[in-house]
Chain A
Amino acid sequence: MDAPRIVEWVGAALAPLQVGVCALALVRRLWKTLPYFTAYLVLVVLVEGLRWGVIFASGVNSPTHQWTYWMTQPALILARGAALADICRAALGLYTGVWKLARLLLVVSGTFMLAFAAVHTNEAHRVSSYLLFLERELEFAVLISLMLILVLVRYYGLSLERPLDGIALGLGFYSSIVIISSSILIGSLSLPWWGFSLARSLGYAGALGMWAYALRAPVRERARPELGTVENYEAGSREIRNRMRELNDRLSDLMK
């Protein structure tokens, strides 16, 4: 069996997995927690269906397939970006102040990354390499933003609960595969087109596996933090204030 044929088989094997994970997300009512991520999974199934339709009609190496692939790819990247925003909101959305700060940081870092991408992408001369450049830089923005949100989550002593952790890791993993494969294809290393497709298909299969594992059990509704009620909040802040005043008075006496 020749290499391009293997790519087709891997792609065909991936289709039921994509549908399966999408169905699992719908069964788990994931749209209640992560509406954009659920929409992304549905979009992937629709786009893949369209791509396979084009492959059956005009062949995998046809210009029509290439055109369809590159024209639908930006929609998927944008949807992945929205899915990441979903994860950020689900992780920090319950904490009003920190969520505002996180949004500010994400907007600043995202704008910087996109500006960098715009400048960097100008180096490309052909449309296909332009799209590859753009895709790589956008995926880079996704990966950096994911990293930023994970740092913030850890800094404030929180942790991403299931299924957020697996979904975030899957997104990061697939973005990494896209960046690496695009970099090799753009660069002077000779990577055949089938190798590029195979790497991406396998990478996506890995991400789907992570998402399926994260969705293996029903998704629990997240409880509001204990300080989220007025009584607890006021009791907590009053106690902190008194204890801190006591400590500061004591320290001031000691320093004299």
Chain B
Amino acid sequence: MMSEITLYIVFVVLLLGASALLLRRPGGSRTAGDTGAEERAEFFPVHSRYFPQARRVLSLEDTRYMAGRASPQLYRRWRKSLRHAALLYLEGLREDFRRLNRLARLLALHSPKVQPKEELELARLNLKFQVLYGIVWCRLWLGRPTDERLGEMAALIGRLGSRLENASVGLRPASGALTP
């Protein structure tokens, strides 16, 4: 009985604390109404467009070539710079996904009908992307090849983009709420 009381109290305190945190306004974020043309432009991905260049840079061929030709010191410096660039690009891909994800939520917010199944699918894509991000990040730090995984990440961004394209085709103003 005693442990049940403790459990209740701890759970309630945690719930209240989480509620207070959730009630804090997100710093610097926009409200859902801010969807003018300039703001809309900020939702679209930028970095995934440079995927072929990034893939070429991160390819094993370059690494083999440099390992065979450059001095060990130069090779180490080159590897370090390459890893730095790859991490920056990885962060860029994550930013792209975050933007699309935000756009997907915004579309759902203004859509007259939100399907729980689609929202779950979005959450699943999000989770998959975050897991891939973690894997690629670890592989980059370990100096392992990542181009295949990066390709999967770019493909996920494409899938999300495709979902959004379909979703925007299906958008129709709500009969009641949106009529001026």
Contact = CB atoms under 8 A, between A and B. Distances in A.
B170 to A, nearest CB: 9
B70 interface: no
Interface residues of B, number: 67
Interface in B151-180: 151, 154-155, 157-158, 161-162, 164-165, 168-169, 171, 173-174, 176-180
A156 B32 contact: yes
Given A225-B110, A230-B173, A241 B168 contact: yes
B16 A172 contact: yes
A188 B108 CA distance: 49
B180 A230 contact: yes
Contacts, number: 184
Interface of chain A, helix or strand or loop or mixed?
helix
A37 to B, nearest CB: 16
A69 interface: no
B142 interface: no
B178 A241 contact: no
10 contacts: A97-B111, A98-B114, A146-B19, A229-B178, A233-B178, A234-B173, A240-B103, A244-B162, A245-B165, A251-B48
Interface of chain B, helix or strand or loop or mixed?
helix
Interface of B: 1-2, 4-5, 8-9, 12-13, 15-16, 18-20, 22-23, 25-26, 29-37, 40, 43-45, 48-49, 51-52, 102-103, 105-114, 116, 119, 151, 154-155, 157-158, 161-162, 164-165, 168-169, 171, 173-174, 176-180
A176 B16 CA distance: 7
A189 B5 CA distance: 9
A240 B9 CA distance: 47
Best-buried of B20, B45, B106, B165 by chain A (most CB within 10 Å): B165
B75 to A, nearest CB: 29
Nearest to A164: B23
A229 B9 CA distance: 47
Interface of A: 94-98, 100-101, 104, 136, 140, 143-144, 146-147, 150-151, 153-160, 165, 168-169, 172-173, 176, 179-180, 183-184, 186-189, 223, 225-230, 232-234, 236-241, 243-245, 247-248, 250-252, 254-255
Contact of A180 (B12, B36, B154): B12
